Amino acid sequence: AVQLVESGGGSVQVGGSLKLSCTASGFIYKRSAYVMGWFRQTPGTEREWIAAIDTSGNTIYADSVKGRFTISQDNTKNNVYLQMDSLKSEDTGMYYCATDPRVRIASMITGRQFADYGQGTQVTVVS
């Protein structure tokens, strides 16, 4: 499995910003085969994807974060980021970095799960 380590979570006020980071290692196939994504899980709900990016830089966002969150990657493609702006209380949750060599940006649908996940980082938005 691919190893994924998230960082950058914490507590922030409503309307504030936070940037999450993810470092990936241990890819089995060529790196370009993998899509990287960020998932969010809130108490009582299933983990759901909120943003994803492929090595060509194509991105996709869930409607709940579109226009407020930005996913990006560095030149190595092994570090992926999630810039979160205009945070709302409903953004509170555990955020997971994830990857999957079978996923394609163009075919992302609600409920799609990935193969490998990190341990997660908690984001709490307080008023």
Instruction: Write the CB contacts of 45 (distance below 8 Å, at least 6 apart in sequence).
Output: none
Task: Indicate if the pLDDT at residue 94 is higher than 90.
Answer: yes
Predicted pLDDT at 112 = 93
Task: Give per-residue pLDDT as tens, 33-71.
Answer: 899 999 999 988 999 999 999 999 999 999 999 999 999
Contact indicator for 95, 40 with CB cutoff of 8 Å: yes
Q: Where are the beta strands (DSSP E) in the chain?
A: 3-7, 10-13, 18-25, 35-41, 48-53, 59-61, 69-73, 79-84, 93-100, 116-117, 121-126
Give residue 92's pLDDT band: very low, low, confident or very high (50, 70, 90).
Answer: very high
